[in-house]
Amino acid sequence: MDDSLTERLRPLRERIDSLDEQILELLNQRARAAQEVGVVKHDFDADGPVFKPEREAMVVRRLQEANPGPFTDQAVDAVWTQIISACRGLESALTVAYLGPQGSFSEQAAYEHFGRIITPLRCNSFDEVFRAIEAGQADAGMVPVENSTEGAVNRTLDLLLNSPLKVLGERSIKIHHCLMTRTGTLEGVRRVMAHPQALAQCQAWLTQHCPGLARDAASSNAEAARVAAGDSTVAAIAGTTAATAWNLGVVASGIQDDPQNRTRFLAVGAMDTLPSGHDKTSVILAVPNRAGAVYEMLAPLAEHRVSMTRLESRPARTGQWEYYFYVDLLGHRDDPPVAQALAALKKQVAFFKVLGSYPAQ
Ligand SMILES: O=C(O)C(=O)C[C@]1(C(=O)O)C=C[C@@H](O)C=C1
């Protein structure tokens, strides 16, 4: 390196080294405080959860509000998610179930939401994710619920309907699909494998660029990557983490038809979440199949000035053109306007289930 450059950098790097030492000292003080919190929680309820989603959201938001920059608010979220994850891990390891294998978008969402200091439980299906938490093998799970190109993830909606688990949080991540093979080329490749959602999100690109390849469904994109790693006639669609995890070469990247393609994931678990100050509530409703029923169903929300951020319908499978409505509201179920709107809704609908209140992302 140029001598004058080294000279100018030296004091700056010395300052960074010294600041890092101070940060490390403070992080250890924070870790010890979290350990003490863990002891107090254990004294009050030895089997109670260590994970408190509302508190974690409040810690991050408070710092973002106090943040003078130039450290960005996004960086505050990313860094403190890891700090809290590490502190939480000292209290008790959090096992998180999600659709594997290694390198899946569910894994990325789980790490972004819970931080890296978790014990992963990679499952073969969304059903298995729910079963693992219900059976107490995992403390929480991460499942996709909607995609900006393809809409609802129906299996997740059906599982939410029938499961006693609650929604604990949400995390939306950018979905950037790549086409990958063992060789990094399409030579000898006869079929492309991916989760049906990913095949749908890339269909225009595939039709234009790989019209000759058969399209096969896989249980997940990362599973397709795993297959491609052992079979040179297979190309997989998955994210770059899967390419790294399975040592595949990227043939083309950003192949999703919508460059802004995003998937929203839900964190699920067995516990209730307290208000964090900026929350959402997810409910499932059904109304009788008659004129005006859906309009009436939504009236209490307008009356109590509760905003609806999402409305999704799913056939009730009665053969009568009846539907379940999945509704997301702004506010916690304990906030008076939401509580009043929910009480009014409950009286007039044929089916009512609160999936949970949780910090809004
Ligand atoms: O405040 C708590 O209850 C803690 O356990 C501490 C802490 C944190 O590191 O800030 C860690 C885990 C919880 O999920 C919430 C917050």
How far away, in angstroms, is 87 Cα from ligand 1 center? 7
pLDDT tens sequence across 216-246: 999 889 999 999 999 999 999 999 999 999 9
Domain spanning 273-359: CATH superfamily? ACT domain (3.30.70.260)
Task: Decide if 265 is catalytic.
Answer: yes
Q: Grade residue 288 by pLDDT with cuts at 50, 70 and 90.
A: confident
**pLDDT at residue 1 tops 90:** no
**The pLDDT of residue 291:** 84
How far away, in angstroms, is 88 Cα from ligand 1 center? 6
**pLDDT at residue 318 tops 80:** no
How far away, in angstroms, is 33 Cα from ligand 1 center? 9
Ligand 1 atom at shortest distance from the alpha carbon of 53:
14
Fold observed for domain 95-175+262-268: D-Maltodextrin-Binding Protein; domain 2 (3.40.190)
0.90 cut: is pTM over it? yes
CB 360 within 8 A of CB 280: yes
pLDDT tens sequence across 117-151: 999 999 999 999 999 999 999 999 999 999 998 89
pLDDT tens sequence across 324-355: 999 999 999 999 999 999 999 999 899 999 99
> Tokens 């992302």 label which residue?
361
CB 90 within 8 A of CB 33: no
More reliable by pLDDT, 102 or 319:
102
pLDDT tens sequence across 160-215: 999 999 999 999 999 999 999 999 999 999 999 999 989 999 999 999 999 999 99
Report the complex ipTM.
0.99
CB-ligand 1 contact for 51 (6 Å cutoff): yes
Fold observed for domain 178-253: D-Maltodextrin-Binding Protein; domain 2 (3.40.190)
CB-ligand 1 contact for 84 (6 Å cutoff): yes
Q: Give the residue from 161, 143, 98 showing the smallest Cα distance to 327.
A: 161
CB 188 within 8 A of CB 232: yes
pLDDT tens sequence across 28-63: 999 999 999 999 999 999 888 999 999 999 999 999
Domain boundaries, the chain: 3-91, 95-175+262-268, 178-253, 273-359
**The pLDDT of residue 283:** 98
Domain spanning 3-91: CATH superfamily? Chorismate mutase (1.20.59.10)
DSSP string, 121-177: EEESSHHHHHHHHHTTS-SEEEEEEEETTTEE-HHHHHHHHH---EEEEEEEEE---
Q: How far apart are CA 357 and CA 346, in angstroms?
A: 16
95-175+262-268 and 178-253, same CATH topology: yes
The radius of gyration of the chain's CA atoms, rounded to the nearest angstrom, is 23
**The pLDDT of residue 294:** 86
Q: Give the residue from 77, 301, 298 showing the smallest Cα distance to 169.
A: 77
